[in-house]
Amino acid sequence: MQGIEKYSGSLQNYLDEVITLKEPIRLYEPIKYIVSLGGKRLRPVLTLLSCDMFNSDYKNALPAALALELFHNFSLIHDDIMDEAPLRRGKETVHQKWNLNTGILSGDAMLILAYQLFEEYEPTMFRDLAKLFSKTALQVCEGQQYDVDFETKTDVTISDYIKMIDYKTAVLLGASMKMGAIVANASEDCKTNSYDFGRNLGIAFQLQDDYLDCFGNPETFGKQIGGDIIANKKTFLYIKAFQNSSDSEKIYLEKLFSEKPKDPTEKIKVVLDIYNKSGATQETLKEILRYTQKANKVLNKLDISDKNREILLSFGEKLMNRNV
Ligand code: GRG
């Protein structure tokens, strides 16, 4: 296995082949737009890497990898609609650039295009991939619903929260790894362990996303900083800060998270200060490390070469030190 750059290159070529501008333009243009904004291509790279590391030609995994990237981009379009987010990857969101209905329909078409890509595989593999995909997509939906519910729920626990991010984000990373193993016809143990690696890494990744939403660099993060605070999201940071607060501080935090001021600048400043002073920021960073280490522990169970293990280790490390 060479460096991981080759995977993004191959994926881009395949994407350009499959995702073309055609009539009706208003359906396909937003699809081309969102996928052309790039992003880290994390999920497809994991699929290609996983296939390669289990000794199969990684190009065989290109349709599955692109299906995952299309699904991810579809979910971003719909998530941005639900959050009324203005920015994605540093550019206008689809519903902002066009309109709500365009975002809904182009998103729907992306989900179908993703399913269609599994038709590139023979029946048994098609069934295994489609089964994993459907199960994962449904969990993503459930995670999203928990996330929405938590905005108005006042007693969200850390375990509620971890379950929510597990479903909303982590299972897709697990599925990305496992799809590579399925395409490579790897053993059942390898499929399970690669899924667990991706899933633990996914929890660490979403916790990092929450951290960056508060403390990231607006120039590189590509989303509005403080977006979760504006939307009154009960993230790991909020729950920890709440747990570490006195009764009067709890009342204050609850009040802050029941309001949606027109200008949120002051609210964001106050909440970030609470996160820092309560120790929530430090505890979040510790939890990111804990899940990354959990992922790395699973790596030792994988039947892969030391060189490939090293590549996965450094992949996880880079991900956790990211600023995008
Ligand atoms: C599954 C039918 C169905 C509906 C989807 C909208 C929705 C329901 C779910 C939202 C899921 C979601 C957007 C989760 C957030 C995951 C996340 C961490 C996104 C950011 O991922 P990055 O950083 O993004 O990999 P880039 O831009 O690099 O691709």
Domain 137-324 has CATH 1.10.600.10: yes
Residue spans of beta strands (DSSP E) within 66-107: 87-88, 91-92
Ligand 1: centre distance to CA 72 (Å): 5
- Matching fold, domains 1-125 and 137-324: yes
Contact (Cβ atoms closer than 8 angstroms) between residue 175 and residue 197? no
Q: What are phi and psi of 288, to 5 degrees?
A: -60, -45
Distance in angstroms (rounded) separating the CA atoms of residues 234 and 153: 9
Whether 39 has a pLDDT exceeding 80, the answer reads: yes
Residue nearest to atom 13 of ligand 1 (CA): 76
- pLDDT tens for each residue of 250-295: 999 999 999 999 999 999 999 999 999 999 999 999 999 999 999 9
- pLDDT tens for each residue of 187-204: 999 999 999 999 999 999
Please tell me if the CB atom of residue 140 comes closer than 6 angstroms to any atom of ligand 1: yes
Please tell me if the CB atom of residue 137 comes closer than 6 angstroms to any atom of ligand 1: yes
Please tell me if the CB atom of residue 206 comes closer than 6 angstroms to any atom of ligand 1: yes
Give the mean pLDDT of the chain. 95
Residue indicated by tokens 């956790």: 320
Give the percent of the chain with pLDDT over 70: 99
Q: Can you tell me whether residue 137 is helix, strand or coil?
A: helix
Please tell me if the CB atom of residue 104 comes closer than 6 angstroms to any atom of ligand 1: no
Predicted local distance difference test score (pLDDT) of residue 223 = 78
Please tell me if the CB atom of residue 278 comes closer than 6 angstroms to any atom of ligand 1: no
* Dihedral sign of CA atoms 86, 137, 171, 62 in order: negative
Maximum mean pLDDT: which of 5-9, 82-86, 103-107: 103-107
Ligand 1: centre distance to CA 211 (Å): 16
Atom of ligand 1 nearest to the CA of 89: 27
Whether 323 has a pLDDT exceeding 80, the answer reads: no
Question: Mean pLDDT throughout 31-56?
Answer: 96
Distance in angstroms (rounded) separating the CA atoms of residues 182 and 175: 10
With cut-offs at 50, 70 and 90, classify the pLDDT of residue 224: confident
Please tell me if the CB atom of residue 141 comes closer than 6 angstroms to any atom of ligand 1: yes
Residue nearest to atom 24 of ligand 1 (CA): 39
Please tell me if the CB atom of residue 42 comes closer than 6 angstroms to any atom of ligand 1: yes
- Please name the CATH architecture into which domain 1-125 falls: Orthogonal Bundle (1.10)
Distance in angstroms (rounded) separating the CA atoms of residues 267 and 288: 25
Please tell me if the CB atom of residue 92 comes closer than 6 angstroms to any atom of ligand 1: no
Atom of ligand 1 nearest to the CA of 172: 16
Distance in angstroms (rounded) separating the CA atoms of residues 11 and 71: 15
Atom of ligand 1 nearest to the CA of 79: 6
Q: Is 115 left (phi over 0), alpha (psi -120 to 50) or beta?
A: alpha
Distance in angstroms (rounded) separating the CA atoms of residues 87 and 90: 6
Please tell me if the CB atom of residue 168 comes closer than 6 angstroms to any atom of ligand 1: yes
- pLDDT tens for each residue of 153-193: 889 999 999 999 999 999 999 999 999 999 999 999 999 99
With cut-offs at 50, 70 and 90, classify the pLDDT of residue 3: low
Distance in angstroms (rounded) separating the CA atoms of residues 210 and 208: 5
Atom of ligand 1 nearest to the CA of 82: 6
- pLDDT tens for each residue of 290-322: 999 999 999 989 889 999 999 999 888 888 888
Atom of ligand 1 nearest to the CA of 40: 28
Taking only Cα atoms into account, the Rg of the chain, rounded to an integer number of angstroms, comes to 20
Q: Where are the domains of the chain?
A: 1-125, 137-324
Give this prediction's pTM. 0.94
Question: Mean pLDDT throughout 4-16?
Answer: 94
* Dihedral sign of CA atoms 321, 213, 208, 67 in order: negative
- pLDDT tens for each residue of 226-241: 999 998 899 999 999 9
Predicted local distance difference test score (pLDDT) of residue 321 = 83
Q: How many CB atoms lie within 10 A of CB 260?
A: 10
